[in-house]
Amino acid sequence: MANKVLITGASVAGNTLAWWLGRAGFEVTVVERAPAFRDGGQNVDVRGVGREVMRQMGLEQAALAHGTGEEGTAWVEADGRIAARFLTDELGRDGPTAEMEILRGDLARLLYDGARDRARYRFGDHVIEIAQDDDAADVRFAGGARERYDAVIVAEGVGSATRELVFPGENRPRWMDMTIAYFTIPRSDEDDRLWRWYHAPGGRSVSLRPDRHGTTRAMLTVQKRPEGEQEWDGDRQRAWLGETFADAGWQAPRVLAGMRDTSDFYFDVLRQARMPRWSSGRVALCGDSAWCVTPLGGVGTTLAVTGARVLAGELGRARDVAAAFAAYERAMRPMVKKAQGVPKLAPRLANPHSRTGIRVLHAVMAFASQPAVTAAAGRLFGGGDDSAPDLTRYPAPGALDAPAASERGEVAAPPGTGAWSPVAALALVGVVLGASAVLGRRNAPDPTHPTIRRWYRRLDKPGFTPPDAVFGAVWPALEVGLAIGGYRLLRRPAGARRDAAVALWLANTAMIGGWSELFFRRRRLGASAAASGAMVASGAALVAAAARVDRPAAALAVPYVGWLGFATLLAERIRRDNPARGR
What pLDDT does residue 243 have?
A: 97
Q: How large is the angle between the packed helices 525-547 and 551-577, nearest 10 degrees?
A: 170
**pLDDT band at 168; cut points 50, 70, 90:** very high
Element (H, E) at 232: none
What pLDDT does residue 433 have?
A: 74
Mean pLDDT of the chain: 85
CA angle 62, 66, 70 (to 5 degrees): 130
Element (H, E) at 27: strand 27-32
Domains, the chain, ordered by start: 4-64+104-172+273-341+388-408 (3.50.50.60), 175-271 (3.30.9.30), 422-577 (no CATH)
pTM greater than 0.75: no
What pLDDT does residue 439 have?
A: 66
DSSP state at residue 558? H
The identity of residue 443, as a single letter, is N
356 CB burial (10 A radius; 0-12, 13-18, 19+): exposed
Q: Is 241 strand, coil or helix?
A: helix
Query: DSSP characters for 452-488?
Result: HHHHHHHS---TTPPPHHHHHHHHHHHHHHHHHHHHH
Sign of CA dihedral 27, 29, 30, 36: positive
Q: Which of 3-12, 53-62, 185-194, 340-349 has the lowest mean pLDDT?
A: 340-349
Alpha-carbon distances, residue 22 vs 5, 297, 304, 389 (angstroms): 10, 30, 17, 22
More confident residue, 232 or 368: 232
- Phi first, then psi, for residue 347 (nearest 5°) are -60, -35
What's the pLDDT tens digit per position in 399-409? Answer: 433 333 333 33
- The C-alpha atoms of residue 68 and residue 87 are separated, in whole angstroms, by 14
Q: Is pLDDT of 387 > 60?
A: yes
What pLDDT does residue 111 have?
A: 95
What pLDDT does residue 411 have?
A: 33
What's the pLDDT tens digit per position in 466-499? Answer: 887 777 777 788 888 888 988 888 888 777 788 8
What pLDDT does residue 380 have?
A: 43
Q: Work out the average pLDDT over 305-318.
A: 94
More confident residue, 278 or 530: 278
Query: DSSP characters for 354-395?
Result: SHHHHHHHHHHHHHHTSHHHHHHHHHHH-S--TTS--GGGSP
What is the number of alpha carbons within 13 Å of residue 111 lying toward its C-beta? Answer: 34
Given a contact cutoff of 8 angstroms between Cβ atoms, the answer to whether 151 and 60 are in contact is no
**pLDDT band at 18; cut points 50, 70, 90:** very high
Q: Is pLDDT of 299 > 60?
A: yes
Buried-state track 141-154, b at ≥16 Cβ within 10 A, e below 16: beeeeeeebbbbbb
What pLDDT does residue 582 have?
A: 58
More confident residue, 142 or 514: 142
**pLDDT band at 413; cut points 50, 70, 90:** very low
Given a contact cutoff of 8 angstroms between Cβ atoms, the answer to whether 179 and 146 are in contact is no
Element (H, E) at 83: strand 82-87
- The C-alpha atoms of residue 434 and residue 443 are separated, in whole angstroms, by 14
What's the pLDDT tens digit per position in 319-358? Answer: 799 999 999 999 999 999 988 888 888 888 889 999 888 9
Q: Is pLDDT of 13 > 50?
A: yes
